[in-house]
Structure 1
Amino acid sequence: MTTETDPTDLRVLQVTTSNRSFFQQQVQVLEERGVECETLVVPRPRSGGRGPREYLSAYLQLLGKGIADFDLVHVNYGLIGPLALCQPTRPVVMTLWGSDVMGPRWLREVSRVAARGSDAVIAPSKPLARQLDVPHEFVPFGVDTDLFEPTDRDAARERVGWDTDERVVLFPYDPDRPVKNHELAERVVARVPNATLKTVTGVAYEAVPDYMNASDALLVTSDYESGPMSVCEATACNLPVVSRDVGFVSDVLEGVEPTGIADTEDELVAALTDVLDAEKQSNGRSVLDRGLDRLGRDLVRVYQKVLN
């Protein structure tokens, strides 16, 4: 008979390329359940992207962590999977983030090879899961539903300094990132009567719910995505979403109304017009099943399965 490992006895080395908010929440919710976590972030050079030197540095840091003191290694992103697999003493859990199996061919191949060598593979979305050829666990990224919750729109607009009479379409991404296709967002909103595009980037994470609650719709025009998490966060705020069919958008928005998923410029214009004309919040919060409690519970279950 197998005995489950007590979460309070677990010590996990978390390896990642980015200390993004959703990753920090993952670590936080695990620690709240008694799992001791230590994080290793692959270093980024002062200019340009990461190269062999940065990954070699991360590998040496990993070996220097006293790997035998951990129960397992949790790799967050396919590209760094080989680093963890090169240590022979501890089981490896790998969470794929999306762009690692939907991005360039070389990245997809590295991620798939690493997935085959891992003791457990986690897919955070169903579209991503369909890309995998190995057994895997479906564990969606969690949303802090205490932070992202519906509030009064006019009060939110006062907090962010927006006119209370505008029909606001939120674009919460860096417009200089080509993949986000800000130009398409501008063209779409320009064709919707009485709509104003608000591009918000670089604000404190804790302030993002105010901008979402101050808006009438969220617009996603990205060419491709691994998520985006902003769709989950908007859904938790009951903010209607109009998006191209990228990442896990169709998965998250299933059963949510009003909403719109489209691909061409004309279709996005029509969908956004319909959503704004509805003049109501979505039912997203009642449909969304991506709370942090579920994330913590499911990750501990995967850890226990690997160790037992």
Structure 2
Amino acid sequence: MAITLNNKMDAIVKQYTLHTKIIPCSVDTSTFTPSPNKSNSNIKKIIFPSDRSRTVKNYPLFENVIKILRNKYNIQCSTTEIKNMSRTEVAALYNSSDLMIMTSISEGSPQVIKEAMACNLPIISTNVGDVSVLLKGVKNSAVSPSAKAEELAELAQQSLNNEIKGIEGREKIKQLKLDDYSIGESLFNIYHQLISPIK
């Protein structure tokens, strides 16, 4: 039995074994929980969900998106990268921010997306890993059909203007059963089947 993170990975592994199961990493919904104390500042706080020095996270694309938001859409915004923070500090950042923009070149099943969803933080992302599945139908969140700064910026301004309809991210996490307990139960069931005597 092989456990994979998303459909693309699963298709690759199925070339070698038909016994696969997609089980993404879970999110700690007790640490990552919404806060009612959102800021009403005119300056929008936007998160870059990694260390900008990591090439695969594509910070130059993020930077271009921010420039378009400022110059074309006249959106005042500040940015913060997730770097050298504890999980508690990251959760506090999600709850004090207005939007996350992921510009990665590739991902598996990114934890930052699930953590932000658990805090009801809107997300705009490139189409990597399982992000399109995670964000489908989520309020003020979307996946760009291409990795173009103009398209990401247009979606970001729609999000910041509360124009994208859907359910809260935390509700989607519950629907997908991506909390620690549900994922733990799925893993337990697989290992229990594997070690059970054949009858």
- Shorter-chain TM-score bucket reads 0.7 to 0.9
> Please, which of 6, 13, 21 is the counterpart of residue 132 of structure 1?
13
**C-alpha displacement of 1:165:** 3.8
Pairing 1:283–2:171 present: no
**C-alpha displacement of 1:200:** 2.8
Unaligned runs of 5+ in 1: 1-119, 158-162
State which structure, 1 or 2, has the greater radius of gyration over its C-alpha atoms.
1
> Please, which of 4, 22, 33 is the counterpart of residue 149 of structure 1?
33
> Please, which of 49, 52, 59 is the counterpart of residue 175 of structure 1?
52
Alignment map for 1:155-304 (pairs within 5 Å): 164-192=41-69, 193-262=75-144, 263-278=147-162, 283-288=168-173, 289-304=177-192
Q: 1:166 to 1:153 in 2, by over 3 A?
A: farther
Identity %: 27
Task: Give per-residue Cα distances to partners, 1:182-230, cap 9 Å, x unaligned.
Answer: 1111110121122222223111122111000111111100111122110
**C-alpha displacement of 1:123:** 1.6
- With the length of structure 1 as denominator, give the TM-score of the two structures: 0.56
Q: Which of structure 1's runs of 4+ aligned residues deviate more than 4 A?
A: 279-282
**Matches of 1:203 and 1:244, distance apart in 2:** 24
**Matches of 1:243 and 1:128, distance apart in 2:** 19
Q: Is the 8 A contact 2:123 2:141 kept in 1?
A: yes
Equivalenced residues, count? 182
Task: Give per-residue Cα distances to partners, 1:96-148, cap 9 Å, x unaligned.
Answer: xxxxxxxxxxxxxxxxxxxxxxxx11123233223321221222211001111
**Matches of 1:146 and 1:250, distance apart in 2:** 24
Other structure's SS at 1:278 match: coil
- With the length of structure 2 as denominator, give the TM-score of the two structures: 0.84
Aligned-residue Cα RMSD (Å) equals 2.0
Unaligned runs of 5+ in 2: 70-74
Alignment map for 1:115-130 (pairs within 5 Å): 120-130=1-11
**Matches of 1:139 and 1:221, distance apart in 2:** 24
**C-alpha displacement of 1:282:** 5.9
**C-alpha displacement of 1:152:** 2.6
